[in-house]
Homo-oligomer: A and B are copies of this chain.
Amino acid sequence: MDLDNIGKLRKTHYASEIVPAMDGKDAVLMGWAREIRLLGNLVFVVLSDRSGDCQVTFLSKTKKAFEIAQELNREDVIAIKGKIKKSTKTNRGVEVLAEEIFVLNKSKTPLPLEITEKTPSDLDTRLNSRVLDLRKPKSVAVFKIRNQILESAREYFTEQGLMEIESPKIIASASEGGAALFPVSYYDKEAFLRQSPQLYKELMTACFERVFEIGHVFRAEPSDTIHHLSEVTQMDIELGFATEEDTWEILEGVINRIYSDVSEKQMEALEMLGQKIKIPKIPFKRITYDEAVEFLDKQGVKIKWGDDTSREHEKMITDHFKGPVIVHDYPMDMKPFYIAHREDNPKISYGFDLFMEGVEISSGGRRVHEAAQYIENLKAKDLNPAEFADIIKFYEYGMPPHAGWAIGVDRLTMLIAGVENVRETVLFPRDLKRLTP
Contact = CB atoms under 8 A, between A and B. Distances in A.
A435 B189 contact: yes
A111 interface: yes
A370 interface: yes
A321 interface: no
B185 A182 contact: yes
Copy tally for this chain in the complex stands at: 2
Query: Residue among A171, A189, A218, A241 with the most chain B CB within 10 A?
Result: A241
B131 A207 contact: yes
Interface string A122-142: 000000010110110001100
A114 to B, nearest CB: 12
B399 A105 contact: yes
Nearest to A5: B343
B208 A143 contact: yes
Contact of A233 (B10, B166, B391): B166
A168 B231 contact: yes
A151 B159 CA distance: 13
Contacts of A30: 241, 400
Given A131-B203, A187-B222, A200-B428, A77 B400 contact: yes
Contacts of A233: 166
A165 interface: yes
Interface in A329-379: 343, 369-370
Contacts of A184: 182-185, 193
Interface in A175-231: 182-187, 189, 191, 193, 200, 203-204, 206-209, 215-216, 218, 220, 222, 230-231
B218 A215 contact: no
Contacts of A134: 204, 207-208
Interface in A93-114: 104-105, 107-108, 111-112
A117 interface: no
A338 to B, nearest CB: 15
26 contacts: A77-B399, A104-B400, A105-B369, A105-B370, A107-B396, A107-B397, A111-B397, A131-B203, A131-B394, A132-B397, A139-B207, A144-B163, A147-B163, A147-B164, A154-B154, A166-B216, A167-B428, A170-B435, A172-B436, A182-B184, A182-B185, A184-B184, A189-B435, A203-B437, A390-B436, A391-B437
The 5 closest A-B pairs by CB, nearest first: A134-B207, A75-B398, A390-B437, A131-B394, A107-B398
Interface of A: 3, 5-6, 10-11, 30, 32, 49-50, 75-77, 79, 104-105, 107-108, 111-112, 129, 131-132, 134-135, 139-140, 143-144, 147, 150-151, 154, 158, 163-172, 182-187, 189, 191, 193, 200, 203-204, 206-209, 215-216, 218, 220, 222, 230-231, 233, 241-243, 246, 343, 369-370, 390-391, 393-394, 396-401, 426-428, 430, 432, 435-437
